[in-house]
């Protein structure tokens, strides 16, 4: 009985880890132009221009912006695309 | 230098000052000097959080894709620049609309490489004074600003 209980607990924790969303964060760098970053956000994330500009300004003024949150595989695909545009992007597991 | 639409599916740079023509001709070469800019061109997707598995997968699967993308972009720009001649005396460059992304990519590679090679800080790039062209560093700064200007034009064209 106790063994089965332990197994159940581990499975639950793994499920929680899988369900925890992953964040895509874009970081500021001195090279990428504001207009370019806005264009990339529109293309990669499908943001309308206003939202893309808001996130670009957040990157510029606060040093980082959380631009997407969701399942890990998709988050990795987005970061890969952003790296293709030479933006500084990372994937981070959201805090529970 | 003028940048204008040449046809329904292309843009052109014309009346290019010889100095800027030289900088254009140098673009693919500058963009390919990846040695000192590896960390910036291929950043750690984990931001150093210690997810070794992701970092390993990234190096194995994503990095080769990025290398291919960057190399293809430089090749496209190199071909577009052929009309300019080796010393930029041709005076005109035609950029097909479907090459704009490659140009944006190559320009960004070059700017990132030059920044890393010269260890420019944000304050250097924001500096409003004209760069001192008697120094190598000043010439590099001019190159960065010129490539940024081109990028702005192309972003507008792409929009």
Give the model's pLDDT for residue A15.
Answer: 52
Nearest to B115 among A25, A27, A30 (CB): A30
What percent of chain A lies above the pLDDT cut of 70? 79
- How many other β-carbons are positioned within 10 Å of the β-carbon of residue B151? 20
Contact B157, B101 (CB under 8 A): no
Domains of chain A: 21-93 (3.30.1390.10)
pLDDT score recorded for residue B35:
85
**Is some CB atom of chain B closer than 8 A to the CB atom of A57?**
no
Structure confidence at residue A8 (pLDDT) = 46
Does the pLDDT value for residue A2 go beyond 70? no
A39-45 long-range contacts, CB within 8 A, separation 24+? A39/B155, A39/B158, A39/B159, A40/A82, A40/A85, A40/A87, A41/A67, A44/A78, A44/A81, A44/A82, A44/A85, A45/A78
Mutate to test the interface with B, among A34, A36, A43, A72 (most CBs of B within 10 A): A36
ipTM of the complex in this document: 0.92
Helix (H, G, I), strand (E, B) or coil at A62: helix
Q: What does the alpha-carbon distance between residue B4 and residue B15 come to, in Å, rounded to a whole number?
A: 11
Q: Check residue A96 and give its pLDDT.
A: 67
Task: Give the domain range for residue B129.
Answer: 2-158
What percent of chain A lies above the pLDDT cut of 90?
73
Q: What is the pLDDT of residue A18?
A: 60
pTM attached to this predicted model: 0.89
Helix axes B100-118, B18-32, angle to 10 degrees: 80
What angle, rounded to 10 degrees, do the helices at B63-80 and B100-118 form?
110
Q: pLDDT for B34-85, tens place per residue? A: 888 999 999 999 988 878 999 999 999 999 999 999 999 999 999 999 988 7
Q: pLDDT digits over A9-37, tens only?
A: 444 445 555 678 999 999 999 899 999 99
For B:17-46, CB contacts with A below 8 A are: 40-46
pLDDT tens profile B111-135: 999 999 999 988 888 767 778 888 9
Indicate the number of domains in chain B: 1
């Amino acid at each position: 009985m106790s063994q089965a209980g332990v197994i159940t607990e581990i499975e639950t924790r793994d499920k929680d880890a899988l369900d925890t969303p992953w964040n895509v964060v874009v970081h500021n760098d001195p090279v990428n132009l504001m207009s370019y970053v806005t264009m990339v956000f529109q293309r990669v994330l499908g943001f309308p221009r206003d939202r893309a500009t808001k996130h670009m300004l957040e990157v510029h003024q606060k040093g980082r912006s959380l631009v997407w949150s969701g399942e890990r595989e998709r988050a990795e695909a987005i970061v890969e695309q952003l790296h293709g545009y030479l933006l500084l992007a990372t994937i981070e597991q959201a805090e529970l | 230098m003028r940048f204008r639409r040449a046809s329904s599916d292309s843009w052109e740079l014309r009346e290019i000052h010889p100095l800027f023509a030289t900088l254009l001709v140098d673009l693919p070469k500058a963009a390919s000097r990846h040695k000192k800019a590896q960390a910036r061109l291929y950043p750690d997707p984990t931001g150093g959080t210690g997810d070794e598995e992701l970092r390993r997968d990234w190096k194995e699967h994503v990095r080769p894709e990025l290398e291919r993308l960057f190399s293809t972009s430089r090749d496209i720009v190199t071909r577009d620049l052929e009309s300019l001649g080796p010393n930029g005396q041709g005076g005109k460059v035609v950029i097909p609309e479907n090459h704009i992304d490659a140009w944006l990519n190559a320009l960004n590679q070059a700017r990132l490489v030059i920044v890393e090679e010269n260890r420019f800080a944000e304050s250097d790039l924001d500096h409003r004074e004209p760069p001192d062209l008697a120094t190598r560093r000043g010439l590099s700064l001019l190159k960065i600003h010129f490539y940024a200007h081109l990028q702005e034009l192309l972003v507008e064209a792409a929009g």
